[in-house]
Structure 1
């Protein structure tokens, strides 16, 4: 966590974490910047709060940004004349590369600030649609935080903010961290309207059962990989929606449910052979990409009829010797 009331230092801190910008304090209140930011494998996630009223000018937006007010409000004024007010906890702002913006922060306003590189956004979109050389994504600029889908998305962001780079947290394993970051980007593409939304919703011709077998073989051979439906679809030459429909037509569980099934069995095998004096259930769960321990324990019990801790101790309830 960094803190400063010096304008030049605040500009430098935010510029190094995100992108070049100008800061203009308004009124006589102290700037009082508090910020923390982490550059992760896919995106940058941080929290930024100003104590006083300020205007932040960003002349060159180079990546996709989602700014989520957690307190107070901001007025987003884009270079093309459009303006919108984002208010906690009702709405957020979505910023697209190439459109400059001025952001007016109310006193005490704090925001979760996500930055997604353009290359990552386009790669996820192309993977989901099974097409290359698509037009850049142009999102609607106001994100409604009151819909069921946005509430679920914000829960994922909250997990990322809480556990990113925290020693021993559920995201301490690269597989779990990568999966969550990709899921946040893909979910944003699915829930927030943009110029490719119709293509993501469109029906496609179902594929053969052979493609389903290929996807299953990939998951069973490399369950530790950072699989998403979109990545599996790319490997099999389909879009994500076409692969999901193919699994349904083959009377298979959805791709990610099948992957969870495979990983549960790998976790079960590891727990059976682990030494409970040096191995924890949480570590095994995280290693196999399970972010929520309570949900993992529930799914594990449903699959194997016992808790993971019982498996680790041995069925007689005593630690192995």
Structure 2
């Protein structure tokens, strides 16, 4: 899974905010509504051919934006209320955030926070997937992960994110396929999970925490099993246990030699196998079982199921 694949999927399901507009005021207003307030300056008397696509999911939104012209984007307010993670799909741009400067292009993402001034100098071929994350949710999740409050000030240039983050974003793109409205409660939970997963991959590691009593690990396991069908934020698990997230992770590694996420996936797969084995073909579907077990991306569910059991979910249901 890549940024280009997520962006391509978004084009099929997004709520179009703006399509192929050449009006600078219309472009600026639409991008302000979807992303953040800004000033838009056209370079070399360029003519816009802008396309903006937008899909909200709780505290985040996914956006695909191409101006189709050389432009400069600059702030319109002193402080922003969001973080923008930019995954370039084509072309190139130069981003400035405070004193940091980065050349961004496919394979070289960037993040712009809410704390300092920014400037984007964008070429006419620049096509980008933008993850917009609500500032309040980001700072709250970072506080739960680190155990202390403070700005989430990351370097402008980002390493290529781990594949699981793209899979999570692809799950967000799949939300509209769940039915009318895309199940807002699932969108909210997935949005929170995207923020948490992004921060866990980006925030610096802390020293190994103190030993977590096994009783807290058992409490975490009970919580995970009780919420098996839902997108689960691991910070919620830690809060339920009265421990930091790093401590809960260390407890799982020590007691079970797996991460909480790995243990949860195994439990979900085991429940899915039981439900498929007991299901009646024609009355039970693989899609229903996957959703009931907390898998919202059918392809990912099938791949994990086959890796664990050596057969496909449909073959288990068909054997019944």
Q: What TM-score do you get using the length of structure 2 for normalisation?
A: 0.82
User: Which of the numbers 71, 84, 97 marks the counterpart of 2:90?
Assistant: 71
Partner-residue secondary structure (3-state), 2:130 = strand
Partner-residue secondary structure (3-state), 2:109 = strand
The Cα of 1:36 is off from its aligned counterpart by 0.2
Single out whichever of 153-162 and 95-104 deviates more from structure 2. Answer: 153-162
Kept after mapping to 2: 8 A contact 1:176/1:290: no
Whether 1:18 aligns to 2:35 is: yes
User: Which of the numbers 257, 261, 266 marks the counterpart of 2:266?
Assistant: 261
Kept after mapping to 2: 8 A contact 1:173/1:286: no
Q: Which residue of 1 aligns with 2:132?
A: 115
Whether 1:281 aligns to 2:291 is: no
Kept after mapping to 2: 8 A contact 1:228/1:256: no
- Alpha-carbon RMSD across the aligned residues, in angstroms, is 2.8
- Within 5 Å, which residues of 2 pair with 1:49-60? 49-60=66-77
Kept after mapping to 2: 8 A contact 1:35/1:46: yes
CA distance, structure 2, for counterparts of residue 77 and residue 64 of structure 1: 14
Work out the number of aligned pairs and report it: 301
Q: Which residue of 1 aligns with 2:200?
A: 190
CA distance, structure 1, for counterparts of residue 75 and residue 130 of structure 2: 14
Q: Which residue of 2 aligns with 1:202?
A: 207
Kept after mapping to 2: 8 A contact 1:121/1:185: yes
Q: What TM-score do you get using the length of structure 1 for normalisation?
A: 0.82
Kept after mapping to 1: 8 A contact 2:61/2:132: yes
CA distance, structure 2, for counterparts of residue 35 and residue 175 of structure 1: 25
Q: Which residue of 2 aligns with 1:152?
A: 163
Whether 1:104 aligns to 2:109 is: no
Q: Which residue of 1 aligns with 2:55?
A: 38
TM-aligned CA distance change 1:310 to 1:83, over 3 Å: closer
Q: Structure 1 unaligned runs (5+)?
A: 316-321
Kept after mapping to 2: 8 A contact 1:94/1:142: yes
CA distance, structure 1, for counterparts of residue 300 and residue 126 of structure 2: 34
Kept after mapping to 1: 8 A contact 2:229/2:291: no
Q: Which residue of 2 aligns with 1:85?
A: 103
Single out whichever of 95-104 and 272-281 deviates more from structure 2. Answer: 272-281
Which structure features the higher share of helix residues?
A: 2
Kept after mapping to 2: 8 A contact 1:156/1:180: no
Whether 1:247 aligns to 2:257 is: no
Kept after mapping to 1: 8 A contact 2:82/2:134: yes
Kept after mapping to 1: 8 A contact 2:171/2:296: no
After superposition, what is the alpha-carbon deviation per residue over 1:185-217, rounded to whole angstroms, capped at 9, x for unaligned?
233323335xxx2xx432110111111111111
Partner-residue secondary structure (3-state), 1:144 = coil
The Cα of 1:227 is off from its aligned counterpart by 1.9
Q: Structure 2 unaligned runs (5+)?
A: 1-15
Q: Which residue of 1 aligns with 2:229?
A: 224
CA distance, structure 2, for counterparts of residue 247 and residue 272 of structure 1: 29
CA distance, structure 1, for counterparts of residue 156 and residue 198 of structure 2: 12
Q: Which residue of 2 aligns with 1:318?
A: none
Q: Which residue of 2 aligns with 1:143?
A: 158
Structure (1 or 2) with the larger CA radius of gyration? 1
